[in-house]
Amino acid sequence: MTLLNFLEVFSILVNATSGFIEARNRKMDTVGFFIVAFVTAFGGGTLRDILLDRRPLFWVDHQEYTVLIFALALVARPLLNTLEKLLSERLLVIADAIGLGMLSIAGISVALAAGMPPFIAAIMGVITGTFGGVLRDIVCNEVPMLLQDRMPYATCSLLGCGLFLLMRKTGAPADFTLWFSALAITAMRLVTWARDIRIR
Amino acid sequence: MTLLNFLEVFSILVNATSGFIEARNRKMDTVGFFIVAFVTAFGGGTLRDILLDRRPLFWVDHQEYTVLIFALALVARPLLNTLEKLLSERLLVIADAIGLGMLSIAGISVALAAGMPPFIAAIMGVITGTFGGVLRDIVCNEVPMLLQDRMPYATCSLLGCGLFLLMRKTGAPADFTLWFSALAITAMRLVTWARDIRIR
Amino acid sequence: MTLLNFLEVFSILVNATSGFIEARNRKMDTVGFFIVAFVTAFGGGTLRDILLDRRPLFWVDHQEYTVLIFALALVARPLLNTLEKLLSERLLVIADAIGLGMLSIAGISVALAAGMPPFIAAIMGVITGTFGGVLRDIVCNEVPMLLQDRMPYATCSLLGCGLFLLMRKTGAPADFTLWFSALAITAMRLVTWARDIRIR
């Protein structure tokens, strides 16, 4: 398993966990746990692929991840209790920031490969990184946090996508560009969280 | 008109009726009646087809069903009053259970024909059978009932899709497999309703 | 810049403004301003193109409009204050009515060109003209106004699309048909607004 594969599974699990937490807060049943976690984990990438008309969708091509979330949904309640004993809020934020960086840069790469112009590709990166959470909130009948919590979540993603485009134009090595801009997003998210920086 | 055609129209009308009831509860206008009934009747299959990238969509290929729901929306208020005098709640649940079975098995068949792997095809069956109601609730600004009412609605659909896959693998005749698993879903739904069986 | 181009940009800006107003009412941050305005401006056409399986999407092909809404979102708060000093409610309704006419007729034209049957093409026209607002309300966690405000908004759009189909069948010149039916929608909307005509 390469590092990239590992981070992929990691990002999916982090997003699914955020879906499980939301489903538990809403006292949903097991069906709700699965659907909300699924939407949070794959919603951003699926929306991007529908907009780009790319098939097969990620979770169709990787049936195993869907099975994994299904299995986790069956044990999600005890699992969350255990996780909350093991992990601090700080760890969850760090995991989430890593997921944001990975997904955003994966999203912009896919969009550029599909021939999108730069600004649209950056928007697709932000959609991939953040719209799982937006769709989760829509399904759970809440105003999406992303739209009003004043945390620079989408902003970090967009700035990192801009950095990615810039580095790409200057001819930096592809791999370095990818990892550096993903890490930049993670770092920005962590710094703005630690300093409680808000946007208007 | 074959039995299959008949059950198809029947499932659409049952779903549309559930949309009309929701629209009336929300005191919507005629436009709302049409849109909510349309979304409930065709939403699950349309979402499946978008995910599979299949076109033309069912309701584009069968313009007559869209016209039918449009015509029904114009007379939906007196229609519902009449229906409620004629039908008991029991009859509505039976109709709904038949629709769930038909739509789920139609959905998994289409997904397998489109080359989906088995578990994903089963998920597509559940989406076809149940997401009309989920989209109805999202449009009406409610938490989708499917996610939290603890009724084993999606569960019956998923078990029936599993049965379908199993029978298919054992080489049972295609027609028998289709009808038997659709009926199994309907039967499971009715038994769990009659005995008030809940999931966690 | 042709008149058609001008009206296109005009319709997009009118819809984006309605998104900005909604975002301000909900006290959203700048990310929310951008996303809600984007969804309102492009949501109807994007949904139509996904249903028709048309690509590239309008806003992908016209990157400049996405950049424009992004730039406007950054200054949306002072912009709205200025607009409200300059414009009366009457002017906003007129602008909105023009947008409804343009978008509906653009929508039905695209659908017919894609080979849709007439009634479905008319529905696509209504979706293009009105679903930006529906998606805006879904994202903002409200019951879509279109479904329950009893204003004949979708009805004007549908009647105008019917007129378009009729004129097309009688062999009226294509350009005249387009402008006349778009204007008819705008006129119907303004008359029903001025006389406060409601539907059931």
Contacting partners of chain A (3+ CB pairs under 8 A): B, C
- pLDDT-based confidence at residue B1 (cuts at 50, 70, 90): low
Tokens 């849109």 locate to B35
Rg (CA), chain C: 16
In a domain? residue A20: yes
Looking up tokens 């947008």 gives C99
Please state, in angstroms and rounded to a whole number, the distance separating the CA atoms of residues C143 and B142.
Answer: 9
Asked if A199 lies within 8 A of C23 by C-beta distance, the reply is: no
What is the full DSSP assignment across C127-139?
HHHHHHHHHHHHH
Cβ pair A141:B143 closer than 8 A: yes
Compute the distance between CA of residue A97 and CA of residue B52 in angstroms, rounded to an integer.
Answer: 31
Is A200 domain-assigned? no
Chain A residues in contact with chain B using a Cβ-Cβ cutoff of 8 Å: 23, 26-32, 35-36, 46, 50, 53, 55, 57, 59-60, 63, 66-67, 70, 77, 138-141
> Is residue A3 over pLDDT 80?
no
Contact call for residues C190 and C94 (beta carbons, < 8 A): yes
Residue B136 distance to chain C (closest CA, Å): 11
Residue A153 domain-assigned (yes or no)? yes
Distance between CA atoms of C16 and B200, rounded to whole angstroms? 43
**Chain B contact set for C155 (CB, 8 A):** 31
Dihedral pair phi/psi, residue C42, rounded to 5°: -115, -5
Q: Could you say which of B52, B53, B142 has the minimum Cβ distance to residue A141? A: B142
**Which chain B residues touch A if contact means CB-CB below 8 Å?**
50-53, 116-117, 119-120, 123, 134, 138, 141-144, 146-150, 153-155, 198-200
Q: State how far the Cα of A77 lies from the Cα of A82, in Å rounded to an integer.
A: 9
Please give the Cα distance from C100 to A15 (Å, whole number): 39
Q: How many residues would you count in chain C?
A: 200
Determine the structural domain holding residue C112 and report its residue range. 3-194
CB < 8 Å to C51, chain B: 46, 50, 57, 60
Spatial separation of the C-alpha atoms in residues B69 and C119, rounded to whole Å: 12
Q: Which chains touch C (3 or more CB pairs under 8 A)?
A: A, B
Q: How many CB atoms lie within 10 A of CB B27?
A: 9
Residue B13 domain flag: yes
Closest to A20 (Cα-Cα) out of A69, A65, A67: A69
What distances in angstroms separate CA A82 from CA A40, A153, B107, one per listed residue?
21, 27, 37
Q: How many CB atoms lie under 10 A from the CB of residue A171?
A: 8
- Mention every residue, 6+ apart, whose C-beta is less than 8 A from residue A38: A16, A19, A59, A66, A69
Cβ-based contacts of B140 with chain C (< 8 Å): 143, 147
Q: For C31-62, give one letter per residue: b (16+ CB within 10 A) or e.
A: bbbbbbbbbbbbbbbbbbbbbbebebbbbbeb
CB-based contact C30 A199, cutoff 8 Å: yes
The answer to whether the peptide bond before residue B56 is cis (omega within 30 degrees of 0) is yes
Chain C residues in contact with chain B using a Cβ-Cβ cutoff of 8 Å:
50-53, 116-117, 119-120, 123, 134, 138, 141-144, 146-150, 153-155, 198-200
Q: Determine whether the interchain pair C139/A142 forms a contact, defined as Cβ–Cβ distance below 8 Å.
A: no
Residue with tokens 């485009």: A165
- From A26, A66, A138, residue closest to B123, measured CB to CB: A66
* Residue C200, in any domain of the structure: no
Domain presence at residue A185 = yes
Instruction: Per residue of chain C (200 residues), give pLDDT as tens.
Output: 677 778 888 999 999 999 999 999 999 999 999 999 999 999 999 999 999 999 999 999 999 999 999 999 999 999 999 988 888 888 888 989 999 999 999 999 999 999 999 999 999 999 999 999 999 999 999 999 999 888 899 999 999 999 999 999 999 999 999 999 999 999 999 999 999 999 88
CA B56/CA B68 separation, integer angstroms: 19
- Model confidence over A46-71: pLDDT tens digits? 999 999 999 999 999 999 999 999 99
Residues C133 and B31: their CA atoms lie apart, in Å, by 14
Assigned domain for A162 exists = yes
Inside any domain, residue B87:
yes
Residues A65-106 have pLDDT tens digits of 999 999 999 999 999 999 888 888 888 889 899 999 999 999
Among A50, A123, A199, whose Cβ lies nearest the Cβ of C29?
Answer: A199
Contact present, B40 and B146 (Cβ < 8 Å): no
Overall number of domains in chain A: 1
- C143/B138 touch (CB, cutoff 8 Å), yes or no: no
Instruction: Answer whether C51 sits within 8 Å of B46, measured CB to CB.
Output: yes
Which pLDDT score is estimated for B88? 81
